[in-house]
């Protein structure tokens, strides 16, 4: 059965969807069975107001640029058609869904969740996988080796594209427990069981400097995790 996922991001005039802040950009990317289809949904929106200075510094979308763009009412049908029945992946989903719900409510339309199968918050996923770490989109790009050098300003479609790469990196290997063996190692794997069991093994012991470095690393890891690590409990027992 095919799994259709939509990676979604938005830009807004500010942070308060319960006030008069509005959506100004929506970007969506379609993925089916973890493969990009090339289908996207993207639009700029006229909010009929200025962006807060802090938000403007993030996305750079001025009121002048947005003045001739459509309003949300003009694009909502195309958006819900694109989303229909899919899993929607959003980083910090409560923020984007809050704004989408506010826009839908102004048009007396059902809540965002009624148009998709479910919403997956990739920020919540990242926090569970990397507790105590920074889990912003930029931080995750750095952690997974995904280049975002071209991201001088935030943009909904650009950020959705980066989130797609991050999500695939975070969930790599979840679909299968089978590890493909490179051809050059297949002969070695096939003959591994024939290795003599009476061969004398060479044991290399850590030097004093290596042991000190290891202890220093464990101490630093303990401080960063802010939890009582399992190795200290084992040592105590």
**CA distances (Å), origin 181, targets 53, 105, 197:** 53, 53, 24
* Torsion region of 227: left, alpha or beta (phi above 0 gives left; psi -120 to 50 gives alpha): beta
| Burial of 90 per CB tally in 10 Å (0-12, 13-18, 19+) | buried
- Spot the catalytic one: 91, 154, 205, 222: 154
Q: Comparing C-alpha atoms, which of 16, 28, 100, 14 is closest to residue 63? A: 14
Q: Does residue 150 carry a catalytic annotation? A: no
Burial of 98-134, coded b for 16+ CB within 10 Å and e otherwise, reads bbbbbbbeeeebeebeebbbebbbbbebbeeeeeeee
Any idea which residues carry the catalytic annotation? Answer: 154
């Amino acid at each position: 059965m095919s799994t259709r996922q939509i990676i979604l991001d938005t830009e807004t005039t500010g942070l308060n969807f319960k006030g008069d802040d509005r959506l100004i950009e929506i970007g969506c990317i379609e993925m089916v069975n973890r493969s990009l289809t090339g289908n996207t949904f993207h639009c700029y929106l006229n909010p009929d107001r200025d962006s807060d200075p802090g938000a403007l510094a993030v996305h750079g979308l001025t009121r002048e640029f947005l003045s001739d763009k459509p309003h949300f009412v003009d694009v909502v049908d195309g958006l819900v058609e694109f989303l229909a029945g899919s899993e929607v992946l959003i980083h910090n989903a409560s923020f984007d869904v809050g704004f989408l719900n506010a826009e839908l409510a102004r048009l007396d339309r059902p809540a965002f969740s009624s148009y998709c199968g479910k919403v997956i918050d990739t920020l919540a996923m990242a926090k569970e996988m990397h507790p105590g770490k920074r889990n912003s989109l930029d931080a995750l790009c750095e952690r997974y080796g995904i280049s975002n050098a071209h991201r001088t300003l935030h943009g909904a479609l650009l950020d959705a594209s980066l989130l797609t790469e991050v999500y695939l990196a975070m969930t790599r290997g979840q679909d299968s427990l089978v590890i493909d063996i490179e051809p050059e190692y297949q002969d070695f794997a096939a003959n591994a069981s024939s290795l003599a069991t009476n061969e004398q093994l060479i044991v290399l012991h850590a030097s004093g400097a290596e042991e000190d470095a290891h202890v220093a690393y464990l101490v630093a890891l303990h401080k960063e995790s802010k939890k009582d690590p399992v190795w200290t409990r084992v040592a105590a027992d």
